[in-house]
Every structure is written in structure tokens, then in C-alpha cells.
Structure 1
């Protein structure tokens, strides 16, 4: 239960960072193209994690010198293959998802983008069931409540489907697959190392379409250095790593619900930091979403019985 609580808190922090970084993404697009922005920020995210990995590796190595000869086993080689496969898979999917999101933002509003992106709270459990994962009935109710809350928070009652909306919907599918891939690999390998690999893979792939479709200049990149640095170091380096580490102990559907609070926390950040005002409809949406998250965290009957027997 302590691991589950820790994982949920880490995902909540991830949602908070992503909610605040949405402004940085919009600001960066005023200077450079989507592939340039994603490529640079992903590479920054990978670079930020290198010293962290070195420090963790040094700590793990202390006191284990006598076991050095046993480290190079078939089991470790298999673990390295799993790490590499997980990092590359996450990196490719992250490139697809983030690119679709950045391009889609050019053609649609922030509110609609936030609503459609967060539809992964519906897509994740549906995809999960299709691959054999079980979802409690109460969680389905929470998913439905979250969709209602998101609609009240992000939409103004008028809904039309544009080119940008379609790209954001594809982005939501990609992020759903990303969550499920992390759920598969994170318990099997080092989360920080896998996160570092995914960023370098995503960054390297982004540079290819950047060279073909965009003509970035150093002056334009330097003009938006803060949005890129924030999105790279904090949104990528910190938040995506927290997601990978946290999902070791969290169900993917619950993870998608927690991460969907990105939209709520983005709205709250706007009120606190930018002195924006929220309509009663938006406040109601926030309340409904928070209620859905709390209900989803309630232990099941089996978990309550297990805790009682443990006592």
C-alpha cells in the first residue's frame, strides 16, 4: 500500500508539471516548429538524466565489488535487452504522440486540445481490456465521471471537429499506448535509464523531420530558451521519469486517471499564477474530476480483506 501511495503521489506530481508546462509548449511554438521543439527538449531531457544515472549507479556499486564477476550473466544480458527494447519502444511512441500534439496545437484551441488529449482515460482501459487486463466496475464509473468533468472544464458547449482535433485524437491514442508500454516494461527494468533512452530516441527521430520540413535558426532557438529548457528539463527529464518509476506500482487505468488531472492543474495554475478566472462550469468540472480520482483510489473488497488479514 505504501508503494501504491508513493506511485500515485508521483503521478500526481507528474500531472502538475505537465499542466504547468502546457504554457511553455505554446510559447515555444511562437518561435520554432514542432519537430525542432520536441527534438531539442527531448535531448535536454536525456542529458539531464545522465548525471542522475551516474550517481545512482555509483551508489549501487558501493559495497558490491565482490559480486562484480557475477554481474555479467545471461540474466543481466537479458535485462539489458529489455532495457534497450523498452527505451526504444517508449521513445518511438513518445515521438509520435508529442509530434501529433505539437502540430495539432497549431490548428485547434488549447481547451479542446486539453479535453481530447485527456481522452486517454477512456482509451487506456479499453485497450487494457483488449489485452487481458481487468478493470473494476467502479473504475469504469470514475472514467465516465472524469470525461464529464473534462468536458465541463475544457469545453464551452460548442463542439466542432477540425484537422487539429483529429491530430490531437491520434495523439491521445498514442499516449494511451505509451502508458500501456510503460506498464509492461517498467517493472522489468531500471526506470530512470529507460526514460533516458526514450528521450534520446525521441530527440533523434525528431531531428530528421526537422531537417526536412523546418528551417530553425539559432537566434529563434535562443529566443525561446526558457520554454525549451523548462519543457526539456522539467516536463521531460523529471515528469516522464516520475511516470515510468511510478507505474511500477500503479494500475495503468488508475495512472491514466491521475495523469488526466493535468487539465485540472493547468486551469488551477492559470488562476494562481496568471490570475485567470474560472467559470462555475469549470469549477464543477474540477470537482467532478477530483471526486472521480478519489473514488478510484478506494480499495477493493479483496484489498480490504487482505489488509484485515495482514493486521
Structure 2
């Protein structure tokens, strides 16, 4: 069992690295197309990249313990639920990235780590002292990173902050669905449904042209294969064996990789106040997950 947890943690670290550097592709893709069509195409590519694995998984048969496999109807509904939540998180994040940097987008998105224990209240879990303290530290960091002189969130940052709530919900939903379903089919289903919702939103709100898609083909294809086809699938597989705390802490490193990618590839810079804010936010994320649990905290109420 321990070796499976270690393997899952390695998968999560790779996921965080790919997601973090994926912010660069998400930012550069906005130079060519709108956020909805960018996500629609990249999630379509991501889902198509999994078709061979879906076929292989179907031929292999289920590896779930006897009596734990859910019905086909439940599996479809579960994938649609995960895909709808994923759509909300990705759509809000992508809209926000139009007016913010990869580094700031990565750190603000990482606040979902702080939101996870508080949303756990819905399923009867107390966040504990660490969760409350971590939230306070992260909020102070967010203030330094994103709040302007007139005490409003900088353009784009509020959208990314809203997306973090849905990322937290997505982590909890995957933690519930992954042990019950074939991970490859769950990943394929949520990506396909997320892509469908983005296509609907794109044709309702954006001007979609073939020329713009061709011009931005590289960030779109990279964003589809790596952050979607590879990283999200590794997340689904890893969360089957990784404890939720491990998953949240390791995935929070996405923010660090986003900042490094924005600096090295896009030449983004950050003020001393912004860097201190990022440090506080990362500290808050880690405190929320690593603070020693006291009796009665994070337990079912």
C-alpha cells in the first residue's frame, strides 16, 4: 500500500509541474483566440488523446474490488458532474488569465488548497486550526499580490479567485468518484463533457474562425495534450491512492511552477510586494494542510 501512495505522490508532482507550466500556454493562447474556444479545442484534444487508453481499459476489464463498481448510468452521471465542475473552474480561470500573469494566476488558483478543508464542512468535516490559520495567511498574501490601491482585486484576479472555489470542489468530487469508477473512463468522460460545454459557450459568446485556431495551434495542442490529456489523467489515477492531504499539498506546487514558467518563458516579472504575497500564499496553503490535527478537527460531525 505504501508503494502505491509513493507512486501516486510522484504522479501528483508531475501533474503539478505540467499544470504550472501549462499556464504559459494558456496565457499565450489568448493572443490568438478567445478563452472559451481555446478551452473547447484543447479539452477535445485531451479527450481524444485518451481514446486508445479507453479502448485498452475496456478490453482489460475492471480492476476495482468486487462489489465496488458502479452502474453504467452512475458512471456517466459522475463523469458529467465532474466535467461540469471542471468547466466552471477552467472557464473562470481562462477568462481571468486574459488580464493577469501566469504567475499570479497560478498562485491564486492554488488557493483551492485552502478552500478544500472548508468545503469539507459540507460533508461533515471541521477544517481545524490549521485550516483557519492557513486561510488567514493566504488571504494576507492575496491582498499583497492582487489588491490595488483602491482596495479592489486587480483585473482578472477576481475571476481566477472564483475559479479556485470550483477547483476545490473538483478535488473533493474526484476523491469521491475515483475509487468507484475506472479512472481512464472517468477522465475521458469529464474532458469530453467539459469540451462540449465550452464549445456551446464559445459559439454563443465568441467569434470563432479557422484562421485564428491555425495561428494559435501550438499553445492549443500543447494545452490539450499535456495539462489535459496527461496531467488531469494522472490526477484522477493518483487520487485513487493518494490521501486528500497529500494531493492538495503536492498539487499546490503548481503555483511555483507557474511562476517559474512565466519568468523563464514569458519574461514576466513581479514586484517585491507581489513576491512576498506569493510566499505568504504558498505558506498558507501548506499550513492549511500540514498543521497537526487536533482531536475533533477534520472529523465527521
User: Which band: TM-score by shorter chain?
Assistant: 0.7 to 0.9
Is 1:168 aligned with 2:152? no
The number of residue pairs the alignment matches comes to: 290
SS at match of 1:161: coil
- Tell me what 2:179 maps to: 187
Deviation at 1:129, TM superposition (A): 2.8
Is 1:37 aligned with 2:29? no
Cα 1:201/1:145, change in 2 over 3 Å: same
Cα 1:79/1:135, change in 2 over 3 Å: farther
SS at match of 1:181: helix
Q: What is the distance in 1 between the residues matched to 2:28 and 2:109? A: 19
Larger radius of gyration: 1
Q: What is the distance in 2 between the residues matched to 1:42 and 1:132? A: 33
Deviation at 1:261, TM superposition (A): 1.1
Q: How well do the aligned residues superpose, as a CA RMSD in angstroms? A: 3.5
User: Quick check: 2:47–2:191 contact (8 Å CA) kept in 1?
Assistant: yes
Cα 1:22/1:92, change in 2 over 3 Å: same
- Tell me what 2:216 maps to: 224
Q: Which runs of 5+ in 1 are unaligned?
A: 65-72, 303-311
- Tell me what 1:257 maps to: 249
- Tell me what 1:9 maps to: 10
Alpha-carbon deviations, 1:210-238, whole Å to 9, x = none?
11211211111011111011111111111
TM-score by length of 2: 0.80
User: Quick check: 1:115–1:151 contact (8 Å CA) kept in 2?
Assistant: no
SS at match of 1:203: helix
User: Quick check: 2:15–2:235 contact (8 Å CA) kept in 1?
Assistant: yes
How does 1:45-60 map onto structure 2 within 5 Å?
A: 45-58=46-59, 60=60
